[in-house]
Amino acid sequence: MTVYVYAITSRDHPCRLDGTTGVGARAAPVRVLAAGELRAVVSDIDEEIRPRRRDVAAHQAVQDRLMADGTPLPLQFGYTAPDDASVRHTLEEHAQTYRAALDRVEGCAEYNVKASREQERLLREILDDSPEARRLNDAIVAGSQDPRLPLELGRMVAAEVELRHASAASDLVRALVGPAREHVLHQPVGSEDFLNLSLLVPRDEEAALVKAHAAVARDDDKGVSVRLSGPLPPYSFVP
């Protein structure tokens, strides 16, 4: 029977998953397959899985349970194998790779940081700081029909937006990477976000990260807000 695969753990991970149910309408129990030094966390499915909220949440809930007892290798959402035997086979075949990947993240959790800035405030700031942009804007608002003006203003503002976002992003990275063993920058998602940073943080450094985040979480004058999510399984730090 087709199985949905959630995560790979080391053999000494307790995988306490009693009562946990998996993706799919049937919500089959989540179970564990052992192969050599590794274990795979799976559940049976008999339908096509799509990214419904229910299923994405179920996938994440299994990871949360595992994180309580040690860091797993979380699979990307949506992977299935034809049967238990093929999962075991894959574990055995790539045991060394997974072992090394587990060592890399051992004792750590991922934290994701997203920062956004209200666009309106940003545009105001740019017009305040740039006399040339202000002049162009005033001319357009006053009724100038010159088609070059909006283009010129827009180009100027777009460049400033990019510059200011980049500078704010690098300030935040500097303020937050201290407690992290590794970090990686992802493309920001969403229209006002300018930072999407994932940190691999040793569990005993979490308090330091939370503290560092608290210091930068809001800047109401600039309209900046910084959201911290975690602890997560190390989605961004696996092969």
Partner 1 sequence: MTMVPQGGPGLSRAGGGGSSSLYDVLELILDRGLVIDAFVRVSVVGIELIKIDARIVVASVDTYLRFAEACNRLDLESGRSAPAQLPDVVGKVVEGGSRGKTKGALGGALDAVTQSLRGRSEDEEAEEEPEEEQEEQEDELEEEAEPVRRRRPARRPVRRERK
The pairing of beta strand 38-44 with beta strand 3-10: antiparallel
- Residue 21, φ and ψ in degrees, nearest 5: -115, 155
Site for partner 1 in 171-200 (CB under 8 A): 186-192, 196, 198
Size of the site for partner 1 (CB under 8 A): 84
In angstroms, what is the minimal distance from the CB of 35 to partner 1?
13
Site for partner 1 in 94-153 (CB under 8 A): 94, 101, 110, 112, 114, 119-120, 123-124, 126-127, 133, 136-137, 140-141, 149-151, 153
Considering only 81, 108, 180, 199, the residue that binds partner 1 (CB under 8 A) is 81
Considering only 44, 84, 182, 206, the residue that binds partner 1 (CB under 8 A) is 206
> What is d(CA 68, CA 203) in angstroms, rounded to the nearest whole number?
11
> What is d(CA 100, CA 167) in angstroms, rounded to the nearest whole number?
35
Q: Is 75 in the site for partner 1 (CB under 8 A)?
A: yes
- For the CA atoms of 92, 98, 100, 106, the dihedral, rounded to the nearest 10 degrees, stands at -130
Nearer to partner 1, 173 or 223 (CB): 223
In angstroms, what is the minimal distance from the CB of 132 to partner 1?
12
Nearer to partner 1, 43 or 236 (CB): 236
H/E element, 60? helix 53-67
Site for partner 1 in 1-20 (CB under 8 A): 5, 7-8
- Residue 84, φ and ψ in degrees, nearest 5: -60, -40
Q: Is 78 in the site for partner 1 (CB under 8 A)?
A: yes
> What is d(CA 173, CA 171) in angstroms, rounded to the nearest whole number?
6
Contact assessment for residue 4 and residue 24, using Cβ atoms and an 8 Å cutoff = yes
Greatest Cα pair distance, the chain, in angstroms, is 75
Q: Is 157 in the site for partner 1 (CB under 8 A)?
A: yes
> What is d(CA 86, CA 117) in angstroms, rounded to the nearest whole number?
47
Considering only 155, 166, 167, 204, the residue that binds partner 1 (CB under 8 A) is 155
In angstroms, what is the minimal distance from the CB of 111 to partner 1?
9
